[in-house]
Amino acid sequence: MQETLEHTPSEEEIRAPRRLIKFNRHDADGLAKRLTGLITLLASLLVPIIAIVLLLRAWPLLSSKPLHDLLLGTEWSPYQGLFGFLPFIVGTLWVTLLAMCVTVPPSLLTAIYLAEYTPSRIRLLIKPLIDLLAGIPSVVYGVWGVLTLVPIVEHKIVPFCTTYLGWLPFLSSENPTGFGVLSGGLVLAVMVFPIIISVAEEVIHAVPQGLREASLALGATHWETTKYIVMRQALPGVAAAVILGFSRAFGETMAVMMVVGNIPQIPDSLFDAAYPLTALIANNYGEMLSVPMYDSALLTAALILLIVVLIFNILSRLVLLRLRRY
Amino acid sequence: MNRRMIEEKFFKCMMLVSLLIVLGSLGLILLTVIKHGLPALNLAMLTQTPKGGYYLGKEGGILNAIVGSLCLAGGATLIAFLVGFPIAIYLHFYAKRKRIAEIVRLVMDVLWGIPSIVYGAFAFILMLWLGVRASLLGGILALAFLELPILTRGMDEAFTMVPTALKEASYGLGATKIETAVKVVIRQTAPVILTAILLAFGRGIGDAASVLFTAGFTDRLPDSLFRPVASLPLAVFFQLATPFPAVQERAYAAALVLTGLILFISILSRALANKMKKHIIR
């Protein structure tokens, strides 16, 4: 303190006294630019970072066995060091594909209805409800599945199918409970509704109005216009919406796990229990660090999930991006 | 001509049926949860932590899970905001080429699609490396990854809505970019940002797969960042997995509480957005 009092300020210091102490507004701007840029860069690297970290931890297993043994092996017994992922991969595919078969027609028709056939007033009323469907936690979907779908499958659908349709390859059942592929697929189907609907609706809505008017002026009906003009134009985007829905279903964990039965087998029919990859991780991860390779095996499952989801996601996002650019 | 009209009518019917299926499943889910949850719900459940033997049907409540979920989602939303906000600012004010912004947006959309179980596994590996056990901190970390893309994209969309003229007016008065961002654009977009925050918060409360092994579970109220913490979705899941009907009923009640919370948040965010919308310059 004493020193500063005695110190006589020089000419320059008098002219620009502040510059020494406080940093200037434009410096703040430069700092903000660097800081936000750095954070953005780090966040953008998150996808490769996650992939590399998972790969590192999965490597002990991946390097010790040939890949096709792992992916096509059917034996899963961690204590003997046998890790065949096929039952889980097939389980995931069954559930996901079934969900897509159930969910795509009603989702697309709803999207078309909302985009083409409803006045905007009603659309504004319905869209929050669909957002709400997207916001419901997956555990609640699981509870709903256990309380509603599983009993219906067990008491109505299974007896009906074994009595009348048992000769069909996928519809016979030895599984007495309702916990199985069908219940899992149906829960997933409902969970995917809002994703497909909201993306597809947006894409369809974005088709230029002039195209519709031209078609209507030529005498086409409303549906013909939708089918031949609007949907043709919106097709890539609609496909992207469906793929997004697929990848969401592929990675869904809790709800599926609660209704799908979780038995590591390759399901033969819609009513058999299955064991999807996500359920495998959720049921076993965190407590298996003592068994050699187990940890690696579960992270291999996570890696498979990540890779599939990444491929589908990037594909559909690129399509949507290109559409938006036009 | 007739055939064409029949086709028109047919597809219109199918669309209505589809819409009914979609809205009907929403109604059915809500009805099921209310029907099974309401009888099991009582004040003790909301105000007590589990007592001894709770998971065998003795008394207690799920206050630990409710508070735990709020802490987890609150912490995660805070972190996701602190990271996501600068990203949104960068995209709108500093990214020189459109290409960069486009790539970052693509990355965020891809991150949005990564399953929460993968985030859980990733966060768990990070925790192992950092020497953190299943704890509040771990759960917050996992959820923050999950919420980051939701929040960032939400804020990004919000900033897009700001008219260029407004920014230009601010620049014209000599403001720097960061000043324009903080003093003009944020005020303009506050309601939309708030909606995004609430959306992310709701997602954080509802997600179970990512906190499954990162946050653990406990009967105590959360008291430390480094101790396990309970969460509502897991309370539902674990109670449903017990063989006792009395405990399973509590799972339904917990599911009702969870659904109610999510509904409340989404209605709140909508109401806030509508109420504050009138102050926005378009």
Chain A contact present for B150, CB below 8 A: no
Torsion of CA B224, B227, B233, B234, to 10 degrees: -160
Binary contact (B94, A33; C-beta < 8 A): yes
Residues on chain A touching B181 (C-beta within 8 angstroms): 32
At residue B139, the pLDDT reads 93
At residue B75, the pLDDT reads 95
Chain B contact present for A322, CB below 8 A: no
Chain A contact present for B273, CB below 8 A: no
Residues on chain A touching B11 (C-beta within 8 angstroms): 109, 223
Residues A127, A134: Cα–Cα separation, whole Å? 11
Binary contact (A306, B91; C-beta < 8 A): no
Chain A contact present for B94, CB below 8 A: yes
At residue A286, the pLDDT reads 67
Quote the Cα angle for A290-A291-A293, to 5°. Answer: 120
Chain A contact present for B252, CB below 8 A: yes
| Homologous superfamily of B46-277 | MetI-like (1.10.3720.10)
Among B152, B208, B270, whose Cβ lies nearest the Cβ of A254?
B208
Please give the C-alpha separations between residue B15 and each of A111, A115, A289, B99, B184, in angstroms, as whole numbers: 9, 11, 51, 39, 45
Whether the CB-CB separation of B226 and B131 falls below 8 Å is answered with: no
Residues on chain A touching B4 (C-beta within 8 angstroms): 221, 224
Chain B: residue whose CA lies nearest to A137: B206
Whether the CB-CB separation of B112 and B153 falls below 8 Å is answered with: yes
Chain A contact present for B152, CB below 8 A: yes
At residue B187, the pLDDT reads 84
Chain A contact present for B125, CB below 8 A: yes
Chain B contact present for A321, CB below 8 A: yes
Alpha helices of chain A — where are they, by DSSP H?
2-6, 11-15, 17-21, 25-44, 46-64, 67-72, 86-112, 120-135, 138-144, 150-152, 158-164, 181-205, 209-217, 222-224, 231-251, 254-259, 277-284, 294-325
Whether the CB-CB separation of B189 and A41 falls below 8 Å is answered with: no
Chain A: residue whose CA lies nearest to B11: A223
Residues B42-68 pLDDT 10s: 887 787 777 766 666 667 778 888 999
Domain extents in chain B: 2-37, 46-277
Token pair recorded at residue B141 = 């970390």
Can you tell me the ipTM of this complex?
0.91
Whether the CB-CB separation of B139 and B72 falls below 8 Å is answered with: yes
CA B206 to chain A, closest CA, distance in angstroms equals 5
* Packing angle of the helix pair A120-135, B2-37 (nearest 10 deg): 40
Chain A, residues 55-74, CB within 8 A of chain B, namely 57
CA B247 to chain centre: 27
Chain B: residue whose CA lies nearest to A249: B115
Chain A: residue whose CA lies nearest to B240: A143
At residue A5, the pLDDT reads 52
Binary contact (A317, B240; C-beta < 8 A): no
Among B95, B116, B176, whose Cβ lies nearest the Cβ of A253?
B116
Residues B119, B115: Cα–Cα separation, whole Å? 7
Quote the Cα angle for B204-B247-A251, to 5°. Answer: 35
Chain A: residue whose CA lies nearest to B271: A128
> What's at B132, amino acid-wise?
V
Average pLDDT, consecutive stretches of 10 residues, N- to C-terminus, chain A (326 residues): 54 54 78 91 93 92 84 82 88 93 95 92 90 92 92 85 74 76 93 94 92 92 92 92 92 90 84 89 76 85 93 91 76
Q: Which residue(s) pair with A261 in the sheet? A: A274
CB neighbour list of residue B130: distance below 8 Å, 6 or more residues apart: none
Please give the C-alpha separations between residue B110 and each of A47, B54, B150, in angstroms, as whole numbers: 8, 41, 11
CA A251 to chain B, closest CA, distance in angstroms equals 5
Residues on chain B touching A191 (C-beta within 8 angstroms): none
At residue A1, the pLDDT reads 44
Residues B270, B264: Cα–Cα separation, whole Å? 10
Among A36, A129, A313, whose Cβ lies nearest the Cβ of B23?
A129
Q: Euclidean distance between the first and final Cα of chain A, in Å?
A: 66
Mutate to test the interface with B, among A27, A103, A109 (most CBs of B within 10 A): A109
Residues on chain B touching A254 (C-beta within 8 angstroms): 208-209, 233, 237
Among A35, A137, A251, whose Cβ lies nearest the Cβ of B262?
A137
Among A113, A131, A317, whose Cβ lies nearest the Cβ of B19?
A113
Chain B contact present for A286, CB below 8 A: yes
Binary contact (B206, A110; C-beta < 8 A): no
Mutate to test the interface with B, among A31, A140, A152, A278 (most CBs of B within 10 A): A140
Chain A, residues 218-277, CB within 8 A of chain B, namely 221-224, 244, 247-248, 250-254, 258
Binary contact (A47, B111; C-beta < 8 A): yes
Residues on chain A touching B213 (C-beta within 8 angstroms): 285-287
Chain B: residue whose CA lies nearest to A317: B106
Chain B contact present for A281, CB below 8 A: yes
Among B15, B121, B266, whose Cβ lies nearest the Cβ of A302?
B121
Average pLDDT, consecutive stretches of 10 residues, N- to C-terminus, chain B (282 residues): 86 94 95 91 79 68 88 95 94 86 91 93 91 89 94 90 88 90 86 89 91 84 85 90 85 92 90 72 60
